[in-house]
């Protein structure tokens, strides 16, 4: 997942936009980059000022996408229980 562009990521996993929003990451203008490339554009000062933990964001994204995909599958197949 970290080796595809943000644009492709959003095409395959539209709910990834919520991950970026929840983490206050503005990806506009960086859609052709991978998520890791996007994170690498921040200076050390920006990372510190915005409390951005690149390693955590990179490791949490696949987990988030998998959980959301499973949720969507359960909902679509009737396994979802309120």
Per-residue pLDDT for 75 more than 80? no
Structure tokens that stand for 16 in this block: 């990834």
Q: Are 35 and 25 in contact (CB under 8 A)?
A: no
Q: Cα–Cα distance between 62 and 55 in angstroms, integer?
A: 12
Tens of pLDDT along 38-64? 999 999 999 999 999 999 999 999 999
pTM of the model: 0.82
Q: Are 38 and 6 in contact (CB under 8 A)?
A: yes
Q: Where are the domains of the chain?
A: 6-77
């Amino acid at each position: 997942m970290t080796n595809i562009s943000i644009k492709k990521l959003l095409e395959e996993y539209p709910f990834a936009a919520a991950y970026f929003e929840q983490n206050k990451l503005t990806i506009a203008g960086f859609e052709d980059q991978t998520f890791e490339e996007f994170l690498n554009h921040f200076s050390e000062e920006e990372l510190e000022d915005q409390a951005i933990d690149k390693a955590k964001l990179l490791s949490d994204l696949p987990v988030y996408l998998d959980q959301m995909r499973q949720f969507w599958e359960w909902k679509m197949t009737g396994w979802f229980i309120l």
